[in-house]
Structure 1
Amino acid sequence: MHEATDSKFHPQLYDYIVVGGGTAGCPLAATLSQKFRVLLLERGGSPYGNPNVTLRDNFIVNYLNQGSDTPVQGFVSTEGVPNARARVLGGGTSINIGFYNRASPQVISDLGLDGSLANASFRWVEQVVTSVPRLGPYQAAFRRSLIKAGVTPDNGASYDFQVGTQTGGTIFDDQGTRRPASNLLVYANPRNLDILLHAQVELILFSGSGDFLLAGDRSYGVKYSDPLGRTRTTLLKNLQGEVILCAGTLGSPQLLLLSGVGPANQLFSPSPVESALAQVVGITAPFGNFIEAACGVAVTGVPGARAGNIIEKVAGPLSSGTLVLQSKNVRDNPLVTFNYFQDPRDLQTCIAGVNTIEEVILANSFRPFVYDNQTLPSGGTVGAPNRRNPAFAATINTTIANYCRERLTTIWHYHGGCLVNQVVDSDYRVLGIKGLRVVDGSTFKYSPGTIPQATILMLGR
């Protein structure tokens, strides 16, 4: 592992160049290095030795302290929704809440993957980075309350995706230390793998077309820069080699666009133009919401105070958004519009999930963690909830709909952008381009599992 500024490091010729040392890139590079010469390029630094990354109890610090070279890079969507991207070896697994949940067999089939190979890859990942946690009082009460609220059956403890309530996996160990995807590099052949940190890939290099890309052109390397602004080029060894983008759901399409691959009306002219965070999940039926809880979260402005919060994720949203370039500088985030609730069915899913959350909050098991005067999304308080008053029955869902719109936020599980059969083929090769693949969450039609990291780790393997 080297810093991109290290003048003593001289890139060789590689069989594979993997762009992005994240959730997919680390297992992919480790696997390829068993037989091939691999370069792994990561735009961020190492997670190791940084307690804000490695320790569970410092989780929120990363999101509060964002700078030019921090593990979290913030941005705001065009609708004004604050967001964050990983900028560290290990990618999202170095900054996320750590819940681990496999994709369902149906999703594996929908992805066109071999079930037995997928299961073997899940197990390969799980030997190094996951375990089943021991639940404390808050998480245990949340679990019992989900069941009491009707999120059944009780599926015990499992990594599998199952409708009902279960204790899932976590990438934090019993001491609260994070085990990011970069831990999977223990599988790598060190003689075959070079890792460059703080190496910002700016451009995919193509041969054969001059200023304009044509179908059949081949990638032969990448251009990257270091924090001092110096640019370097690294190349593939031969025509059988490939550049593989694992830069994430936002980063991979951004790099394709910057390199001239994408819708013609979004590409620039060659000439300048103006311009224990989560450990239990409730998977509801028939809507399929994912309901999780985080606890031990610091309360801003209240020294020493800790709180719990419950999250609902709208699984497989039917609304779709857009990603376009904002500038020719790869360090600038792309311009992202999510279009949340564009499809009214997503709002109905959110409403159903909030109704379930309120039943969780009102369950006897959860009483030690709530106050009678706490307000509820549907109105009233825990001690006197509107949902228990027949006079409010007709307006409960309307009130919750407004709550969904007002409290809308991201949980960062982006997908799309480089979809199979639209941007890449079923083997993840970029359509019309030789020697170039995309392997990450940008290829998914929807986010697999209750959290995508397990499936992305498996996909990299």
Structure 2
Amino acid sequence: MAANFGELFLTILLIVCLTVSSQGREMMEKKYPYLRLASSFSSAKARGYDYIIVGGGTAGCPLAATLSEKYRVLVLERGGSPHGNLNVSYLQNFHISLADTSPKSPSQAFISTDGVINARARVLGGGTCINAGFYSRASPSFVMAKGWNLELVNESYPWVEKQIVQFPELAPWQVALKNGLLEAGVSPFNGYTFDHIYGTKIGGTIFDKNGFRHTAADLLAAGNPKNLRVLLHATVQKIIFNTRSPRPYAVGVLFKDENGRRHKAFLHAGRHSEIILSSGAIGSPQLLLLSGIGPKQDLQRLRVPLVVNNEFVGKGMSDNPMNTIFIPTKGHVEQSLIQSVGITKMGSFIEASNGFGQSSDSIHWHHGISSAEIGQLSTIPPKLRTLEAAQRYAKTKHEIPREAFQGGFILEKIDGPLSRGHLQLINTDIDTNPNITFNYFKHPRDLRRCVYGIRTIEKIINTNQFSNLAEDDSYTINMLLNMSVKANVNFIPKHTNDTVSLEQFCRDTVITIWHYHGGCHVGKVVDRDYRVLGASRLRVVDGSTFATSPGTNPQATVMMMGRYMGLKMLRERLGRRAGV
């Protein structure tokens, strides 16, 4: 009897779950008619596409929306939808997605061979779903070096901004940083601006006044739903080429759905149809390698059939190193992510973050983007930051003194590091992170800029602005140092006049601000129109093509790039008469 009741209960529960799931899908399809699960794909019913975009991320979404105005576009996104995901949508939950290691998390953690814990997006909208929300355009020199059409750039930025960007209501911690920067000599004050200008400024944000995040996925709504199809949990495993012609050309992709079933999607036969990789600085070079475009020796080692021998795929990888200083305060200060920024002529950017968040099961105190809650472990030297160290921390974090969460961080990041690394496949499984090396501070100029940044932070901490916020004299230096060891937070080094000590501090406390780039450089892997060298009907449109990261945060320029390239491709095919 009990067994029968149990079986009946499970049956009812299954029906309820399926009904709720079905209703959820119906609601999603009604509000977002272009979204479908990958398992809904039928190669028998699918006609050839004009464009297949691999990766619905920061560049992929605006690119898809733009191209769909005139052509049939298929977007294959390996992650799920950000819509309705509270950990993505709200500022107070910012750290939770980054700490989530489940297979369906919107972020996928990886540890570089340097020992720095990092994350790559795994969600529609890409990095705009898991970042700190700061919006700032590239400098004019960056745009000029790219050879971009300035008129088209100035059309593309506002298209993004009108839909998802605004200026923030400045939080107390950000006011303190702004005033501290100016008092420390990082001037002039440039007010609220999207532009990249030396001095101190307030940038834009993709969080609205209620703390709700707007992402690149929102830009898809500007597309033509009749021409646009976005498949979620569609993991592309390789590009399919026709290699019988003298120059190999892309004809389609092989991808797996959320159930592990494989599908093939194909382009129209026309010469203008293209596969466009927009999978980010890790995903795009990784997919080129798995598809047979890369260094011959490396591909032979993994028995990947060679399509194009190119030694530069996966090379020239860079990440902007970040170092942070924790400032204990007299009381709790309202949570904030990046809003104020100091842009120095030395190439060091000064920003700040603070606060605490709450999840449904318990309160998660954190230090904004430097939180050990997201695995940064910044007081442990990089070579000791292993998975085991992170797991040990997770077991003992409840022992951290409460005072460690009363305060915030001032951080400095190096812009355009000269230290370069590389990406190398471990195996032929697309779900396995490649080995990635960034070689942080290998170039001496990067170290000099870090030292300059730490000394600038010291000046800010010693301003009147921060002396009013900081803990009183009852906190002795020994207490602070003991707390820093237990709490895994950084304080200003004792001897900032000692360059050698500061250089070691930079090396020992380096973390990331998730602005890695490179791997598919222009002139080496792609041409100036982002077409892959040695192959036809294949482009790469994302940050993997950048030699440096634009602005103080790349998301503005990467979204603009998606719109820009979409418009450029439409105008090349249709001319101005098309009204695009």
Of residues 340, 344, 354, the one that matches 1:295 is: 354
Q: Does 1:398 align with 2:432?
A: no
Higher helix share: 2
Change (3 A) 1:306 1:20: farther
Residues of 2 paired with 1:331 and 1:66: CA distance? 14
Partner of 1:116, secondary structure, is: helix
Letter in 1 for 2:443: D
How far apart are 1:367 and its partner, in Å? Answer: 2.5
* 1:431-446 correspondence to structure 2 within 5 Å: 431-446=533-548
Of residues 557, 560, 577, the one that matches 1:458 is: 560
Residues 219-244 of structure 1 deviation map (CA, whole Å, 9 limit, x = unaligned): 01110001221110000012320000
Partner of 2:512, secondary structure, is: coil
Corresponding residue for residue 229 of structure 1: 260
How far apart are 1:394 and its partner, in Å? Answer: 5.0
Kept in 1, the 8 Å contact 2:291–2:304? The answer is no
Of residues 278, 282, 286, the one that matches 2:338 is: 278
Kept in 2, the 8 Å contact 1:201–1:222? The answer is yes
* 1:401-412 correspondence to structure 2 within 5 Å: 401-412=503-514
How far apart are 1:445 and its partner, in Å? Answer: 0.7
Partner of 2:454, secondary structure, is: helix
Of residues 423, 438, 451, the one that matches 1:323 is: 423
Change (3 A) 1:206 1:294: same
Of residues 298, 307, 321, the one that matches 1:266 is: 298
Corresponding residue for residue 165 of structure 1: 200
Residues of 2 paired with 1:188 and 1:279: CA distance? 30
Letter in 1 for 2:40: D
Q: Does 1:413 align with 2:515?
A: yes
Letter in 1 for 2:543: G
Partner of 1:267, secondary structure, is: helix
Kept in 2, the 8 Å contact 1:138–1:369? The answer is no
Residues of 1 paired with 2:496 and 2:533: CA distance? 53
Residues 359-416 of structure 1 deviation map (CA, whole Å, 9 limit, x = unaligned): 112211122432254869xx9x9xx9888xxxx6752x22221111111111111111
Change (3 A) 1:270 1:64: closer
Corresponding residue for residue 287 of structure 2: 255
Kept in 2, the 8 Å contact 1:200–1:226? The answer is yes
TM-score calculated relative to the size of structure 2: 0.73
Q: Does 1:219 align with 2:278?
A: no
Corresponding residue for residue 532 of structure 2: 430
Residues of 2 paired with 1:385 and 1:440: CA distance? 36
Residues of 2 paired with 1:30 and 1:393: CA distance? 50
Query: Any stretches of 5+ residues in structure 1 without a counterpart?
Result: none
Partner of 1:369, secondary structure, is: coil
Instruction: Compare 305-314 and 73-82 and name the one that shifted more.
Output: 305-314
Q: CA RMSD in A?
A: 2.3
* 1:17-416 correspondence to structure 2 within 5 Å: 17-209=52-244, 216-238=247-269, 239-268=271-300, 271=303, 276-285=336-345, 287-297=346-356, 298-299=365-366, 301=398, 305=405, 307-372=407-472, 373=475, 394-395=497-498, 397-416=499-518
Residues of 1 paired with 2:476 and 2:236: CA distance? 48
Of structures 1 and 2, the larger Rg is shown by 2
Residues of 2 paired with 1:224 and 1:385: CA distance? 49
Partner of 2:39, secondary structure, is: coil
State percent identity of aligned pairs: 48
Query: Any stretches of 5+ residues in structure 2 without a counterpart?
Result: 1-34, 306-335, 357-364, 367-372, 374-397, 485-490, 564-580
Instruction: Compare 149-158 and 295-304 and name the one that shifted more.
Output: 295-304
Partner of 1:176, secondary structure, is: coil
Kept in 2, the 8 Å contact 1:294–1:309? The answer is yes
Partner of 1:328, secondary structure, is: coil
The number of residues matched between the two structures is: 445
Kept in 2, the 8 Å contact 1:419–1:442? The answer is yes
Change (3 A) 1:60 1:394: closer
Letter in 1 for 2:259: L
